[in-house]
Structure 1
Amino acid sequence: MLICGPKLAACGVVLSMWGVIMLAMLGIFFCTHSAVLIEDVPFTEGDLKDGNPPMKVYEVFNKVGYNCFIAAAVYVLLGAFSCFQVKLNKQKEYLVH
């Protein structure tokens, strides 16, 4: 079932590849608790008042990292869909000519 044109499908492939690379790297950096990303971690003051503040912050880091990996998986699915659309567009072009 052809949904996208050839240019949109090719754009989807390129954006998906970039999204997978970027989000996978972000996931790795969040899971390794990179200090540069501390401003992007949504922890509250309540997390700092509990028994062991560093462990709470590390848990939030890990949750954000896992969310990045999930988003990368969604981009993989979108990339597969876009590749399928590229293939269908090539078949359609071949049949027309």
Structure 2
Amino acid sequence: MRGLICGPKLAACGLVLSMWGVIMLSMLGIFFITHSAVLIEDIPMSDGDIHQDTNPPQRIYELYDKVGYNCIIAAAIYVFFGVFSCCQMKLNQRKDYLVH
């Protein structure tokens, strides 16, 4: 069958992992964009970002936003992999239907 790259179990696993990745990364992106204080340890910040800036909170908020947008982009990539896995599942079902 044309376009069939992976089997039914791998396609199902890819779909489940993609759904989890979209949920987790979307929530992380939202929490970073809303500047959640719990995630302060996860932003790439140095002492210079705090002490040398004239408006320190603004620089930290920019770093929060940057990480948040990266999480949203990664969630979008997971959406594409989920669509790919779903298409592979459909192709596997069609192959089994045509064989039997």
TM-score using structure 1 length: 0.98
Provide the residue aligned with 1:87 in structure 2: 90
The correspondence for 2:76, drawn from 61, 73, 77, is: 73
The correspondence for 2:59, drawn from 56, 59, 66, is: 56
TM-aligned CA deviation for residue 67 of structure 1: 0.1
Q: Deviations over 1:26-72 (max 9, x none)?
A: 00000000000000011111211211111000000000000000000
Provide the residue aligned with 1:8 in structure 2: 10
Provide the residue aligned with 1:41 in structure 2: 43
Provide the residue aligned with 2:22 in structure 1: 20
Alpha-carbon RMSD across the aligned residues, in angstroms, is 0.5
CA distance in 2: counterparts of 1:62 and 1:87, whole angstroms: 38
CA distance in 1: counterparts of 2:31 and 2:53, whole angstroms: 25
Unpaired stretches in structure 2, ≥5 consecutive residues: none
Moved over 4 A (4+): none
TM-aligned CA deviation for residue 80 of structure 1: 0.3
Identity %: 72
Aligned residues: 97
